[in-house]
Amino acid sequence: MHAFSHSTTSTPTAVPVPPSLSLPVIEAAFPRQLHPYWPRLQEKTRTWLLEKRLMPADKVEEYADGLCYTDLMAGYYIGAPDEVLQAIADYSAWFFVWDDRHDRDIVHYRPAAWRRLRFRLHAALDAPKEHLHHGDPLVAGFADSMVRLYSFMPRTWNMRFARHFHAVIEAYDREFRNRTEGIIPTVEEYLALRRLTFAHWIWTDLLEPSAELELPDGVRKHPAYRRAALLSQEFAAWYNDLCSLPKEIAGDEVHNLGISLIKHEGLTLEEAVTEIRRRVETCISGFLDAERLALEFADSLADGTVRGKEIAAAVRACVCNMRNWFSSVYWFHHESGRYMVDSWDDRSTPPYVNNEAAGEK
């Protein structure tokens, strides 16, 4: 099955989707969009990666555009002000680089380096301005992202975002221990951990600066809004597991829904793939129902006041972007060089990572 890519060229090209990974409902019912700022976004994020020394210049030149990190964000946060989308895209690129450092610290067994980085990120999250010139580019780049993201929203949003990301850092630490000790979590343990390592609530939080309004707690926590948000993120996490299963088996990973199903439920590889697909498809059908209820909830917030009208419009914008997440995640996995394991010289070592002793300084 093919679709037309809007990735790194202005001319659409056919992108093959393997039958085992194709989701006709996404291609038919979730039309893809890209923020009009995307071409500039790609250029500026590439420059930011270089300026912050987050990737070596040769890696940026050869791989940055093909990794499609900016495409993923430009397909999600539609309607965001350009400067907000730029900050989100740079932060997202940082997140992928952090994920790669975490992986290399595990592969090369560098627990001291990981521990230092973990504590530094916690500190930078709480006081980013004090870490803008940190010696570790990963810490300085993170601090830069946080200063920019925090500037768009009130202190209450910033505190919530920080609380959510502190939990993500600690989840990465649990993943570090599991992988270095060879512990494969049970399915339920894995699903709970995955919601944190995939940063479900971080990407959901970022819908609000994109809509230019912090949502009241009662709105964010309303079952209609929260269920739509959760299903959009669960789809992304589980579809990622489906697509990255070969990469993670090659890298002796222990964190993948398929790997937990094989280890703890006794499924074969083929059965595990079928079960992940079933869960992914359930997320899609569940979201279509949740989306309708969330939009009805948005309509109910328009109570005739200016404030009610603003909140209702922001909720609609957030829910529409939850929908955009499905198509953006789907095509990202078929366009990004991050998942093209068969093209790598070494299936356990991504060609775009710095495989040296980063973080040991």
Distance, CA of 50 to CA of 47 (rounded, Å): 5
**What pairing do the DSSP bridges indicate for beta strands 2-5 and 13-16?**
antiparallel
Distance, CA of 339 to CA of 333 (rounded, Å): 7
What does DSSP assign to residue 20? T
Distances (CA, A) of 159 to 36, 164, 315: 30, 9, 21
User: What SS3 string covers 275-329?
Assistant: HHHHHHHHHHHHHHHHHHHHHHHHHHHCCCCHHHHHHHHHHHHHHHHHHHHHHHH
Q: Which residues are catalytic?
A: 95-96, 198, 338
Sequence-distant (6+) residues with CB within 8 A of 354 are 55, 56, 59, 100, 104
| Cβ(84)–Cβ(92) below 8 Å | no
Cα angle: 241, vertex 243, 249; to 5 degrees? 70
Which of 211, 209, 210, 205 has its CA nearest to residue 229?
A: 205
Backbone φ and ψ of 190, nearest 5°: -65, -45
Helix, coil or strand: residue 15: strand
